[in-house]
Chains A and B, each alone.
Chain A
Amino acid sequence: MTTDTMNTEPAVDETAQMRLWHRVSQFLFREARLLDEWRLREWYDEMLTDDIRYLVPATDVRGEPADALGLIDDNAARLRQRIEQILNGEVWCENPRSRTNRMISNVEIVADRGTHLDVAANVVVYRFGHGRSDCYVGKFRLELAVEGESFRVRRRLVVLDHESLYEHGKLSIIL
């Protein structure tokens, strides 16, 4: 795991840091909005790198043991498939589409590595549909590639805090 300290020198202008933090936060809020509005292709095309990896570990493991099986391990091609399946109505539990509300908070730039940032944030996703209301609570561990004034997500790890998905049964949306 990454360290808790920002990789900064004392001389760095605090306003620059705040601007960066603001841009990262805005980026994450926009991502949440696109996902909530089911603009998944736009999200995929505009906000992710070509070598994106989207991971959701199993709920019964702590940390990120390399040899453990998870719940989701998507590369770009598989994530694209996931998106097309959802948008084409082939995912029965998202047809009709559920309503979702993603709340992003505790956004923190854990490390600024120049070409990319390590970002941590908390996420709560409410999902309503098919007579159900589900709530997914987790932590984002993101690697953002810096692209001029904006970013693209290269690694998107979502660690769920639930002990199990017993209440939810399934995870049919993108967290």
Chain B
Amino acid sequence: MTIELQRPVDGQIVFDDPENLSFRVDRRAYTDDDVAAQEITKIFDRCWLYVGHESEVPELGSYVSRDVGGRPVVMARGSDGVIRVLANSCPHRGALICSQSTGQARSFRCPYHDWTFSNQGDLVGVPLPDGYGPGFRKSDFGLARHRSDSYRGFVFATFDPEQPLTLTEHLAGATEYLDLIADQSEVGMEVIQGAQLHGARANWKLMMENSVDIYHFRALHKRYVSYIESLGTMAPRRRGGFARALGRGHGANELVPAAARPLAYWTPMFPPEVRSRMEATAARFVERFGAERAQRITGANRALMIFPNLMIIDAIGITIRKIDPVSAGQMSITSVALAPQDEDPDIRELRKSHYLTFLGPAGFATPDDIEIIESCQRGYLNRTLRHSDLSRGMAKEVPETTDELPAREFWRQWDRLMHDDDREEGHHLTRRAERQGGQRR
């Protein structure tokens, strides 16, 4: 599929007009190859990016290898217990030093010339070292260590040595929502084995927008709504809740659950025998956190969008969805489930089972999301229509979850980064009214 519009994208892409309650995005943002290339250098080469969860590397020497921002990396827990994000490329000639997706190792050996690196990234072995001159020092040839940090178990890295923000500064208001997820277990959360690896023939930003858009739920996901209704759980027609912009491009929705929540929110779609246990769990959360916060943790669904490419959806299960651009019209998607480490085995089975009804490439909802964003991408081929509209809720003091405030927050940050003006603090103060829209109560 080729897209012939090759007008240079030097003009405006995001048309943000609060006075006229209008917010439009030029559709070339989704289709243009130059825009896609610029996003890599201006966003993915600079931002803090999600790498993985600490529970994926539980033991000394555990590692996972994956692509982050288009770059192959290894997230490894060294023998010293420290989690590092290392470049998965030999400093000698460039081959991948790790071709397993997960495992446990004291060292990584490059298969090309047997250069060997400790699980902390130090070069520890070079065959036939006498071939190098006297100035050759192993310490100059360790694996590149990317700057990384974690927040409540979520590990991020940045490839920009000049990145002025700490991870916590970058996460801004999103930390409140990560706390609501991390607090779901006293002993810690863990990623469940078995990733849903798929993709879509659509621009990556369409999946970000879709993942935080509640407006489409009743229209696009009719079959899921009928499914949960067939199990005796009625999804409320108006979900209520609130949408928020969390700064730095992050946004969230929080709302009444449409279905049960395996942590501690029972509805008839779960078997009666787990009801009292779930209610007891809910009561324990009230003791631990007080009624209001406990209600938020156990009795609300949320979708958290972390700029640029991470979605955490906390509903019938918790999914961590990493969305990676491949080209203007193609993305890859990696989804894993997160759950309390100390969950009862039968509730874990319920969680996994119901997770699959909604989520993943064969669920009763995600395939329709994939299909509809691919449909959008095809629709953009009709270039008569130049803009997409994302103005819902601009007129409201308190935007609802069916409004598009989180998407606007995403696009405003995207626009700042693409124009290199994110480091001017003034921009963070503009449109304060909408930024704080949806503050609770």
Structural contact, A57 and B367, CB atoms closer than 8 A:
no
Residues 88-100 of chain A, each 1 if its beta carbon lies under 8 Å from chain B, else 0: 1011110000000
Alpha-carbon distance between A57 and B371 when the two chains are bound, in angstroms: 22
Structural contact, B194 and A165, CB atoms closer than 8 A:
no
Residue B356, interface by CB 8 Å: yes
Structural contact, B374 and A81, CB atoms closer than 8 A:
no
Structural contact, B192 and A68, CB atoms closer than 8 A:
yes
Alpha-carbon distance between A92 and B367 when the two chains are bound, in angstroms: 8
Q: Which residues A31-80 have CB closer than 8 A to chain B?
A: 56-61, 65, 67-73, 78
The residues of A that contact B196 with a CB separation of less than 8 Å are: 58, 69, 71, 165
The residues of A that contact B195 with a CB separation of less than 8 Å are: 58, 60
Structural contact, B332 and A65, CB atoms closer than 8 A:
no
Structural contact, A69 and B355, CB atoms closer than 8 A:
yes
Q: Which residue of A lies closest to B336 (CB)?
A: A69
Known: A91-B367, A93-B368. A169 touches B200 (CB 8 A): yes
Residue B337, interface by CB 8 Å: yes
Alpha-carbon distance between A78 and B269 when the two chains are bound, in angstroms: 12
The residues of B that contact A171 with a CB separation of less than 8 Å are: 361-362, 367
Structural contact, A68 and B193, CB atoms closer than 8 A:
yes
Residue A9, interface by CB 8 Å: no
Structural contact, A67 and B361, CB atoms closer than 8 A:
no
Partner of B362, one of A65, A71, A131, A163: A71
Least CB distance from B393 to A in Å reads 26
Least CB distance from B147 to A in Å reads 27
Residue B201, interface by CB 8 Å: yes
Known: A73-B356, A93-B371. A67 touches B201 (CB 8 A): no
How many B residues, CB 8 Å from partner?
39
How many A residues, CB 8 Å from partner?
36
Least CB distance from A148 to B in Å reads 33
Residues 343-381 of chain B, each 1 if its beta carbon lies under 8 Å from chain A, else 0: 000001000110111001110101110111011001000
Least CB distance from B63 to A in Å reads 15
Structural contact, A169 and B201, CB atoms closer than 8 A:
yes
Residue B227, interface by CB 8 Å: yes
Known: A61-B193, A169-B199, A169-B374. A69 touches B356 (CB 8 A): yes
Least CB distance from A82 to B in Å reads 7
Residue A85, interface by CB 8 Å: yes
Residue B197, interface by CB 8 Å: yes
Structural contact, A165 and B367, CB atoms closer than 8 A:
no
The residues of B that contact A82 with a CB separation of less than 8 Å are: 364
Residues 371-397 of chain B, each 1 if its beta carbon lies under 8 Å from chain A, else 0: 110110010000000000000000000
Least CB distance from B204 to A in Å reads 13
Partner of A85, one of B101, B223, B370, B374: B223
Residue B139, interface by CB 8 Å: no
Most chain B CB inside 10 Å of its own CB: which residue of A61, A69, A131: A69
Q: Which residues B8-56 have CB closer than 8 A to chain A?
A: none
Residue B230, interface by CB 8 Å: yes
Alpha-carbon distance between A166 and B198 when the two chains are bound, in angstroms: 4
Structural contact, B332 and A166, CB atoms closer than 8 A:
yes
Q: Which residue of B lies closest to A60 (CB)?
A: B195
Partner of B366, one of A57, A166, A170: A170
Most chain A CB inside 10 Å of its own CB: which residue of B197, B352, B362, B372: B362
Structural contact, A58 and B361, CB atoms closer than 8 A:
no
Alpha-carbon distance between A136 and B366 when the two chains are bound, in angstroms: 18
Residue A7, interface by CB 8 Å: no
Most chain B CB inside 10 Å of its own CB: which residue of A91, A165, A168, A169: A169
Q: Which residue of A lies closest to B378 (CB)?
A: A131
Alpha-carbon distance between A91 and B222 when the two chains are bound, in angstroms: 9
Alpha-carbon distance between A61 and B352 when the two chains are bound, in angstroms: 15
Known: A59-B197, A68-B192, A170-B370. A90 touches B362 (CB 8 A): no
Q: Which residue of B lies closest to A65 (CB)?
A: B193
The residues of B that contact A88 with a CB separation of less than 8 Å are: 223
Structural contact, B193 and A69, CB atoms closer than 8 A:
yes
Q: Which residue of A lies closest to B191 (CB)?
A: A69
Structural contact, A70 and B198, CB atoms closer than 8 A:
no
Most chain A CB inside 10 Å of its own CB: which residue of B199, B223, B366: B223
The residues of A that contact B366 with a CB separation of less than 8 Å are: 170
Known: A169-B361, A170-B362. A68 touches B371 (CB 8 A): no
The residues of B that contact A60 with a CB separation of less than 8 Å are: 101, 194-195, 197
Residue A172, interface by CB 8 Å: yes
Alpha-carbon distance between A61 and B372 when the two chains are bound, in angstroms: 29
Residue A19, interface by CB 8 Å: no
Least CB distance from B347 to A in Å reads 13
Q: List 7 A-B contacts (CB under 8 A).
A: A59-B197, A69-B356, A70-B352, A81-B230, A169-B198, A169-B200, A170-B198
Given contacts A166-B197, A166-B199, 20 further A-B contacts (CB under 8 A): A58-B196, A69-B352, A70-B194, A72-B362, A73-B353, A81-B230, A85-B364, A92-B220, A93-B368, A93-B370, A131-B378, A164-B197, A164-B198, A165-B197, A169-B200, A170-B198, A170-B361, A170-B366, A171-B362, A172-B367
Interface of A toward B, CB cutoff 8 Å: 56-61, 65, 67-73, 78, 81-82, 85, 88, 90-93, 130-132, 163-172
Cβ-closest 7 pairs across A and B: A164-B197, A68-B194, A58-B194, A69-B194, A170-B367, A90-B223, A93-B371
